[in-house]
C-alpha cells in the first residue's frame, strides 16, 4: 500500500492565492464544502506589486490572534489565508479557535478522505496587485521558517517562489504541465504535544518529479503552503508562524536533502535485525551496511527463505519480492503473498528474498510496525539512498554467506512502489534478471526510456495493472498501458508481434465484494473485477511479454484471500481473487530459469 503520485497531488492544483490572481472562490470544486475564503473579503485593486523587502524587525507572520483570514501586516505583507483540495469526497476544515487564556487563538485544520492529490492550506506573502503577477516578498534577511504545532499525521511544508511560479502567472517557471507545482519543501511529522519546528531555507528542496532540483530563493517568496497527500488523515494545531534570524555564533544549518534517519517520524521504529512475527524454518533476517551519498553508513536488512533441500552455494534460481511503500519485507511475505512464494520454492527448489526499503519520511509512525520505508524510485528518490545498488549488495551478501553460487538465474517481482522499483532495477541492470513482474506499479508520471534489451538476459516481462486503480493517480492506467509495447520493442520483438497480442479472459472465479453492504465509493467501484490477459511471444520462443489488465480492482497483490476490514476496503478496495499472482509470476518466468 502506497503513498503514491506526488505529481498527481499537484496536477490539478489551482493555487488559491491573491498574489497569483486566483481568488479563493475560484479554486477546485468542493463536494463536502470545506472551509474556504468567501468572496468580497479583500479589495482586489489598488495595491502596488513592488517587491517587499523584510527588515528583520518583525519576523512574526501570524499568531492567529486577530482576523483569521489574513496574516499580520508586518513589513507591508498583508497576505491572506486560503484552502484548497482535489475535489473528491473528502473533508477539509480550517478554523481559528481560542484554546485558553495563555495560548490564545490558534489555527486548527483537519483533512481526510481526499483521493487524488489531497488538500492543503496556506498564505500569500504579498497583497494582490493584478490577475497575473507573482509579487515577491524578500525574506533573505532571515534564515528560515519557524512555527509551533501539534497534532497527528504528516504534511509537506512548501515555499512558493518566483522560480516555481509559471510564467503564465507572472513567475519564471517554464516547465510543462503541472511540473512547476513541485515546489521546494520539507516534511512535517506532527506529534501530540506542542513542538517548535524550524526549517532553514536551505533545507527546502523539490521532491523531484517536476524536473527541478533547485531550492527556494528566499529573496523572491510568493507563498507558504501546508499540504496533505492523497488519503492522508491529518489534524494540525498551528501557532506563531514566523521567520527567524540566525543567532550570533550559531552553527550553519545542514542543508539539502535530510538524511533518512533524520526524516523519519519520531515514533517510527527501526530494528533491522528483528523479525516481525513468528520465526519460520528456512527464514533468515540479514543485515549489512550501505553507504549513502552524504549521510554516512545506513544499516539495511532483508529476509531470505532457503528450502532445506538446497545445498550451500546453490545454483538454484533466486526470486526477489519487493514490498510497497511505507511497508516492510514482512508485509510482502505475509499480508500480500501469504507465503505462497515459499510454498512454490519448496515445490520447485528456488530461493525467495524479501528486500526491505530504507527508512525515511515515509516510514510508518506506528512503533508496532517496524522497519518500514519506500523504494527510492520515481519521485521517492531522495538523492541519498541508491536502491539498485542495495539490491546488488543483497545478491552479493547471499554469495558471501555461501547461500548461492553467484551465477544463479535472478527474477524480480514487486507490488506498487516495489513494482516501480523492479522496473527501475531492470532498466539499470538488465543483465542481472532473466525475468521481472510488476503488479500495480508506480513508474513515475513520465516513465524513463527503456534501454536496448535485445542482447541482455532479460527474457520475461509481466505487467499487471487495474483500470482506475484507487491506489494510484487518476487515470494512471493510461501511462501503464503504454509500457508493454516499449519493453517488447526494447527486447527485440518485431512490430508485427507487438501489434497483434494474443488475448484471453481469465476465469472469473470470485465475485469480489458480493456480500458487501457498505457505502464506500472505493469498495463499490472495485467489486467483482475481471482480468484480461495479453501475450506477446518473441521469435525465439523464450522471450515473452504478458499484460494482465484488471478492469476494476483494489490496489493489492491478487490472490484468493479475502479482505474484510472496513478501513482497508474504504481506502484500497477489494483485492482481485480470481488468480494468485505468485503462481502467475513464477509460472510465467520459470521457462527463463530452465533456459539459463
What secondary structure does DSSP assign to 81-134, as a single string? EEEEE-SSS-EEEEEEEEEETTTEEEEEEEEE---SS-EEEEEESS----SS--
Decide if 271 is inside a domain: no
Question: Which of 191, 216, 243 lies at the terminal end of a domain, its last residue?
Answer: 243
Asked if 300 and 219 sit in the same domain, the reply is: no
Cell of 402: 555461501
The pLDDT value recorded for residue 127 is 66
Tell whether 289 and 369 lie within a shared domain.
yes
Is the confidence at residue 26, as pLDDT, over 50?
no
Last-in-domain residue among 228, 243, 258: 243
- pLDDT attached to residue 48: 52
Residues with Cβ within 8 Å of residue 562, at least 6 apart in sequence: 512, 575, 577
Indicate whether 137 and 27 sit together in one domain: yes
- Distance, in Å, from the CA atom of 306 to the CA atom of 350, rounded to the nearest integer, reads 7
Domain span at 71:
6-37+54-243
566 conformational bin, left if phi > 0, alpha if psi -120 to 50, beta if neither: alpha
CATH number at residue 552: 3.40.50.1820
| Residue 130: inside a domain | yes
Asked if residue 131 is part of any domain, the answer here is yes
Torsion of CA 575, 576, 579, 581, to 10 degrees: -50
Q: Would 47 be classed as within a structural domain? A: no
CB of 191 within 8 A of CB of 234?
no
Least confident of 4-13, 61-70, 204-213, 539-548: 4-13
φ, ψ at 406 (rounded to 5°): 110, -20
Count: domains in the chain: 2
Section 499-504 average pLDDT: 96
Tell me whether residue 388 is in a domain: yes
For a pLDDT cut of 70, what percent of the chain falls above it? 90
Residues 287 and 239 in one domain: no
Element (H, E) at 525: helix 521-525
Residue 23, pLDDT score: 26
Q: Which of 111-120, 250-259, 528-537 has the weakest average pLDDT? A: 250-259
SS3 content of the chain, % helix, strand, coil (to 5): 20, 25, 55
Whether 330 is covered by a domain: the verdict is yes
Say which CATH number the domain at 86 has.
Answer: 2.60.120.430
In a domain, 532, yes or no: yes
Least confident residue range of 247-256, 301-310, 528-537: 247-256
Position of cell 472465479? 509
Same domain, 235 and 323: no
Report the chain's mean pLDDT, rounded to a whole number: 87
Q: Going by C-beta distance under 8 Å and a sequence separation of 6 or more, which residues neighbour residue 506?
A: 530, 531, 532, 533, 548, 578, 579
Strands 544-550 and 119-124: unpaired
Three-class DSSP category at 186: strand
In a domain, 414, yes or no: yes
Do residue 182 and residue 64 come from a single domain?
yes
Minimum mean pLDDT among 102-116, 337-351, 401-415: which range?
A: 102-116
String of b and e for 459-481 (b: at least 16 CB within 10 Å)? Answer: bbbbbbbbbbbbbbbbebbebbe
Spatial separation of the C-alpha atoms in residues 322 and 77, rounded to whole Å? 49
Same domain, 343 and 459: yes
Amino acid at each position: 500500500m502506497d503513498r503514491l503520485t506526488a505529481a498527481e497531488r499537484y496536477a490539478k492544483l489551482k493555487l488559491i492565492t491573491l498574489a497569483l490572481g486566483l481568488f479563493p472562490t475560484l479554486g477546485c470544486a468542493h463536494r463536502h464544502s470545506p472551509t474556504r475564503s468567501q468572496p468580497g473579503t479583500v479589495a482586489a485593486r489598488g495595491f502596488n506589486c513592488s517587491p517587499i523587502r523584510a527588515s528583520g524587525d518583525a519576523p512574526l507572520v501570524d499568531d492567529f490572534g486577530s482576523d483569521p483570514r489574513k496574516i499580520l501586516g508586518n513589513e507591508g505583507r498583508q497576505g491572506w489565508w486560503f484552502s484548497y483540495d482535489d475535489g473528491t469526497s473528502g473533508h477539509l476544515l480550517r478554523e481559528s479557535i481560542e484554546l485558553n487564556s495563555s495560548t490564545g487563538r490558534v489555527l486548527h485544520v483537519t483533512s481526510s478522505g481526499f483521493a487524488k492529490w489531497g488538500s492543503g492550506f496556506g498564505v500569500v506573502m504579498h497583497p494582490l496587485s493584478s490577475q497575473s503577477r507573482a509579487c515577491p516578498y524578500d525574506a533573505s534577511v532571515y534564515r528560515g521558517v519557524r512555527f509551533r504545532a501539534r497534532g497527528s499525521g504528516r504534511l509537506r511544508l512548501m515555499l512558493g517562489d518566483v522560480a516555481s511560479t509559471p510564467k503564465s502567472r507572472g513567475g519564471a517557471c517554464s516547465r510543462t504541465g503541472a511540473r512547476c507545482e513541485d515546489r521546494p519543501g520539507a516534511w512535517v511529522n506532527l506529534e501530540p504535544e506542542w513542538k517548535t519546528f524550524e526549517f532553514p531555507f536551505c533545507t527546502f528542496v523539490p521532491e523531484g518529479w517536476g524536473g527541478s532540483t533547485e531550492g527556494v530563493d528566499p529573496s523572491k517568496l510568493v507563498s507558504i503552503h501546508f499540504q496533505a497527500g492523497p488519503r492522508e488523515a491529518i489534524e494540525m494545531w498551528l501557532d506563531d508562524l514566523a521567520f527567524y534570524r540566525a543567532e550570533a555564533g550559531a552553527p550553519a544549518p545542514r542543508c539539502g536533502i535530510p538524511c533518512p534517519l533524520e526524516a523519519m517520524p519520531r515514533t517510527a521504529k527501526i530494528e533491522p535485525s528483528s523479525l516481525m512475527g513468528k520465526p519460520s524454518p528456512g527464514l533468515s533476517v540479514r543485515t549489512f551496511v550501505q553507504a549513502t551519498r552524504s549521510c554516512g553508513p545506513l544499516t539495511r536488512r532483508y529476509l531470505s527463505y532457503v528450502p532445506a533441500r538446497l545445498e550451500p552455494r546453490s545454483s538454484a534460481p533466486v526470486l526477489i519480492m519487493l514490498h510497497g511503500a511505507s511497508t516492510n519485507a514482512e508485509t510482502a511475505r505475509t499480508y500480500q503473498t501469504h507465503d505462497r512464494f515459499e510454498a512454490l520454492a519448496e515445490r520447485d527448489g528456488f530461493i525467495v528474498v524479501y528486500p526491505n526499503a530504507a527508512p525515511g519520511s515515509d516510514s510508518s509512525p506506528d512503533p508496532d510496525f517496524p522497519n518500514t520505508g519506500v523504494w527510492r524510485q520515481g519521485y521517492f528518490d531522495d538523492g541519498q539512498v541508491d536502491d539498485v545498488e542495495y539490491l546488488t549488495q543483497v545478491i552479493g551478501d547471499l554469495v558471501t554467506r555461501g547461500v548461492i553460487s553467484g551465477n544463479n538465474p535472478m527474477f524480480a517481482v514487486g507490488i506498487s512502489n516495489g513494482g516501480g522499483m523492479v522496473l527501475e532495477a531492470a532498466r539499470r541492470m538488465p543483465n542481472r534478471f532473466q525475468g521481472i513482474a510488476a503488479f500495480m506499479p508506480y513508474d513515475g508520471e513520465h516513465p524513463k526510456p527503456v534501454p536496448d534489451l535485445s542482447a541482455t538476459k532479460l527474457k520475461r516481462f509481466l505487467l499487471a495493472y487495474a483500470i482506475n486503480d484507487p491506489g494510484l493517480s487518476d487515470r494512471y492506467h493510461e501511462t501503464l498501458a503504454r509500457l508493454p509495447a516499449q519493453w517488447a520493442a526494447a527486447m527485440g520483438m518485431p512490430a508485427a508481434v507487438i501489434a497483434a497480442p494474443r488475448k484471453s479472459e481469465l476465469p472469473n472465479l470470485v465475485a469480489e465484494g458480493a456480500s458487501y453492504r457498505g457505502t464506500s465509493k472505493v469498495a463499490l467501484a472495485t467489486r467483482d473485477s475481471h482480468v484480461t490477459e495479453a501475450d506477446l511471444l518473441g521469435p525465439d520462443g523464450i522471450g515473452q511479454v504478458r499484460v494482465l489488465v484488471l478492469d476494476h480492482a483494489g490496489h493489492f497483490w491478487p490472490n484468493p484471500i479475502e479482505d474484510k476490514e472496513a478501513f482497508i476496503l474504504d481506502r484500497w478496495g477489494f483485492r482481485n481473487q480470481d488468480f494468485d499472482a505468485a503462481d502467475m509470476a513464477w509460472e510465467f518466468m520459470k521457462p527463463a530459469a530452465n533456459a539459463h
